[in-house]
Structure 1
Amino acid sequence: MGSIESFRAERSVLVTGGAGYIGSHAVLALKDAGWKVAVIDNLVTGFRWAVPDDVPFYEGDIADGDLLARIIAEQQIGAILHFAGSVVVPESVSDPLKYYSNNTVKSRALIESAIQGGVKHFIFSSTAATYGTPDRDGPIPEDTAQKPINPYGTSKLMTEWMLRDVAFAHDFNYCALRYFNVAGADPQARTGQSTAGATHLIKVAVEAALGKRESVAVFGTDFDTPDGTGVRDYIHVSDLAHAHVLALEALVENPKESHFLNCGYGHGYSVLEVLDAVDRVTNRKIVRILSDRRAGDPASLTADSSAIRARFGWEPRHDDLDTIVTHALAWERRLSERAD
C-alpha cells in the first residue's frame, strides 16, 4: 500500500494539456485537494492564463523526450494526468493522421518518458467513443465491446492498449477514464471552455444565447431516439476533475491495481432537450438549424457509472442540466468581459 501523504510531500503531478478545458479544471481540483502540480501544454488550443501563477508551467510538446525528462527531474514528478490531445470527432474523420499523431503516437512518447523517468502512476483521458455504437440499449458498462466508429475513438483505444501492456511489463499502474460528454465550467468561474470554434453543444448553445453565434446546428433529426436527435450523457467538468483526484489517490494507495472506468451520470439528454434548457436558463430562444447527421455520430451514448462510484466512492455534485448550463453561461459571460 502506498502513502498519499508521503507522495504529496515528495512528489508532484504533471498535467499534460493543463492549459486546456478539462486539464485546467483538473489542475484546480488537484490544488484544492493539496497536491503539488506542474503543467505542460503547447498552447495550440490552451491558454497560458488558465494555469494559476503558482503552478510551474512548461510550454512544449509531450513528445519532446528531452523536455519531459527535464520536467520529471526538476519537479520530482510521480504521476502524470494526460489530457493533451485532439477531440473533435468529425475532424478525426476528415484528418485521421492528425489524430493518430496527437492521440496515439505522442501518447506513446509520453508513456515512454514516464517509464524512463521512473513515473509510476498515469491517468489517461479516454473516451466513450472507444465503444462506437453499442449493440445494447441503455447505459453502457465498461465490459461493453470496444468497436470505435471514428479515428478519434480508435486513437484513444490504442493508447488504452499501450497502457495495459506497459503496466504488465513495468512497475507502473494506470487509470483510463472514459469520458462521456463533458460540459459546464468551474462553479467559481475560475476556468471554463474557452477555445474559439469549440464544438461542444452546451458551449455552442450558450454562445448563441449571448449573441456570439446566430444559430445552433442540430446534426441529425432522424436518430432512433425519442425526439430524433442524438442523446448524450453530459457530465459537469468539475465532477470529472474530482474523479481524477480520486483516481490518483487509488493509484498511489494500490500501486498494483489499474483501472478503466466510465465517467458519466448514467442518463442522457437529447440535443433538443439541451437547447430547451439553455432557452430556459437564459430566458431567450436560440435559433435552431436542422442539419444532416455528422459522420461518426452514434444515436445515443450514456454511461453505466456504477463501477467508479463503487470503486472510488465518486459521488457527483452537479448532476443537473440547468446547473451545468448556468455554470457554462457564467463562464461565457466572463470570457466576454475578458475580450472587452
Structure 2
Amino acid sequence: MILVTGGLGMIGAHTAAALADLGEEVVITAHRRSDVPSFLAGRVRVETLDVADRDAFLALGDRYDIGVIVHLAGSMPEPDPIPYFRRDSEALFTALDAARTWGVNRFAVADSISSYEGRDERPWAEDLALPLAVPPHPIAAFKKAVEPLTLFALAGSGVRPVLLRIGSTWGPLMDPESPFNPVPSTVSAALRGERPRPLPAGAGDFCYAPDSGRAIALLMTATSLAHTAYNVSGGVPFTARQLVDALNAALPGSGIAVDPAEATAEAAPYLDITRLRTETGFEPAFDLPGAVAHYVEWRRENPR
C-alpha cells in the first residue's frame, strides 16, 4: 500500500488518483480539508490526522501495510516564517520516523523548481549544483532544506529516498486566488463575468496537476530508479502570449491580455525532465491549450 500525505491537496490528490489508476492501494492523510474531489471519491482510504502528530501517524502502521510514503503534506506560512518552518519540519520528521520504523521501500518528498534559483542555465537539470541563493518564498526555502535532511535521515536505513523537484503546478483543487499562478484567479474572474486583470509578461513551465500526479505515481511504481532526484514538470516553456491565447480560446469574449506595462520577460527557467522520461516513460497528457480547456470545464462545476 502507498501512503500519500496531504492527499486532499492539489498535487497529493492527483498523485493518489494516478496511483489508483495504476492499480495501487492508496491511503491518504488529510488535516485541514475534508472534501474529497469527485475524481478521488471511493478510490482511496482517507485518514484524518495531523502528520505532525507522531503517535497518530505511526498508528497508521498498525492498520495498513505501507510500503511507500509520498510526503506532500504542507501548510501555508505566516508573516513570521519560524512557526511555519517548525510546523512543517515536525511533519517531515514524523514522516521520516515512520518510514524508518515501518521499513518502507521508498520515501518521496517534495522539493521545488525554486531550489535552482540563481542558475543561469536553461533548462535546469538534476545534476546542477543547487546554488547558495536566498529562495523567493518561505515555502521554497523549506523545500530546499528538505533534501539534505531527508538524505541524512534515511542514510543507512534501507529506505530509498526520492527527491521530487516539482515545477510550478496548477490545476483542479488549486486555491482559486493563489498568488503562485495567474491561471486560477484569471479563470475565476472570467467565470464571475468580470474582466480579468492583465497577465504578467513572464513565461514559465507550468505543469498541469494531473500530469504532475501521474509523473510522481510512475516514479513510485517504477521497478527500479537509477537516481535520487527527479524533476517533475511539463518540461516545455511557454510564453505569456501562448497562455493568453489558450485562456481566450477556452473563455471566449473574456478579453484577457498581457500587461503592456511590464517589460518583456527574460528567457524563462524550465525543468529538463529527460531523467523522468527515460526511467518511467512519462509524457505529459496535456499541452497548454488542452490543460486550460480542461481546467475551465472543471471550474464551471467546482469551486476550486
TM-score normalised to structure 1 length: 0.78
Distance 2:266 2:29 in 1: 33
Residue matched to 2:290: 323
Measure how far apart 1:111 and its partner are.
Answer: 0.9
CA distance in 2: counterparts of 1:212 and 1:157, whole angstroms: 40
* Whole-angstrom CA distance in 2 between matches of 1:287 and 1:230: 15
Report the AA paired with residue 139 of structure 1: P
Which range is displaced more, 16-25 or 117-126? 117-126
CA separation in 2, counterparts of 1:146 and 1:103? 22
- 1:121 maps to which of 106, 112, 118: 106
Letter matched to residue 216 of structure 1: R
Matches within 5 A, 1:191-202: 192-199=172-179, 200-202=181-183
- Which is further off, 270-279 or 326-335? 270-279
Deviation of 1:30 after TM superposition, in Å, equals 0.9
Q: Kindly indicate whether residue 128 of structure 2 is the aligned counterpart of residue 144 of structure 1.
A: yes
Distance in 2, Cα, partners of 1:176 & 1:69: 22
Aligned length in residues: 296
**Does the residue aligned with 2:291 lie in a helix, a strand or coil?**
helix
> Which string of whole-angstrom CA distances, capped at 9 and with x for unpartnered residues, describes residues 298-321 of structure 1?
973211111111122222222x11
- The residue type paired with residue 147 of structure 2 is E
Unaligned residue ranges in structure 1 (runs of 5+): 1-11, 185-191, 220-228
Tell me which residue corresponds to 2:279: 311
Q: CA deviation at 1:96?
A: 2.2
Determine the C-alpha separation between the residues in 2 that align with 1:176 and 1:212: 41
Contact 2:74 2:88 in 1 (8 A): yes
Q: Give the superposition deviation at 1:100.
A: 1.7
Distance of aligned partners of 1:291 and 1:79 in 2 relative to their CA distance in 1, 3 Å threshold: farther
Q: Is this contact kept in 2: 1:129–1:152, CA < 8 A?
A: no
Match of residue 73 from structure 1? 62
Contact preservation (8 Å) 1:173, 1:258: no
Q: Which amino acid aligns with 2:250?
A: V
AA aligned opposite 2:55: D
Residue in 1 that maps onto 2:156: 169
Kindly provide the amino acid, as one letter, of the partner of residue 14 in structure 2.
H
User: Moved runs in structure 1, 4+ residues, more than 6 A?
Assistant: none
Residue 192 of structure 2 corresponds to: 211
Q: Deviations over 1:137-184 (max 9, x none)?
A: x21111223235233222112111122123322110021121112133
What is the letter of the counterpart of residue 158 of structure 2? D
Show the 5 A alignment for 1:152-167: 152-167=139-154
AA partner of residue 209 (structure 1)? A
Q: CA RMSD in A?
A: 2.8
SS in 2 for 1:80: strand
More strand by share: 1
Secondary structure at the counterpart of residue 39 of structure 1 = strand
Instruction: Give the CA deviation at 1:272.
Output: 4.5
| 1:56 pairs with 2:45 | yes
Q: TM-score, normalised by structure 2?
A: 0.86
Secondary structure of 1:300 counterpart: coil
Task: Judge conservation of contact 2:68–2:107 (CA < 8 Å) in 1.
Answer: yes
Please report how far the alpha carbon of residue 271 of structure 1 lies from its aligned counterpart in structure 2 after TM superposition.
3.7
Cα 1:196/1:238, change in 2 over 3 Å = closer
User: Residues of 1 paired with 2:175 and 2:85: CA distance?
Assistant: 22
Query: How do 1:233-272 residues align onto structure 2 when only pairs under 5 Å count?
Result: 233-250=205-222, 253-254=223-224, 258-272=227-241
Q: Quick one: which amino acid aligns to residue 251 of structure 2?
A: T
Change (3 A) 1:80 1:291: farther
Cα shift at 1:103:
3.8
Q: For each residue in 1:94-145, what CA deviation from the matched residue of structure 2 results, as whole angstroms up to 9, or x when unmatched?
A: 4422442344342122111221232231122221011113222x21111223
Structure number with higher helix proportion: 1
Measure, in 2, the Cα distance between the counterparts of 1:210 and 1:177: 33
Equivalent-residue separation in structure 1 for 2:292 and 2:147 (angstroms): 31
Contact 1:141 1:304 in 2 (8 A): yes
TM-aligned CA deviation for residue 193 of structure 1: 1.9
SS at match of 1:108: helix
- Identity between Structure 1 and Structure 2 (%): 24
- Aligned equivalents of 2:111 and 2:167: distance in 1? 9
2:268 aligned residue: 300
Instruction: Quickly say closer, same or farther: Cα 1:143–1:86, change in 2 above 3 A.
Output: farther
| Letter in structure 2 aligned against 1:240 | S
Provide the rounded CA distance (Å) in 2 between the counterparts of 1:291 and 1:174: 45
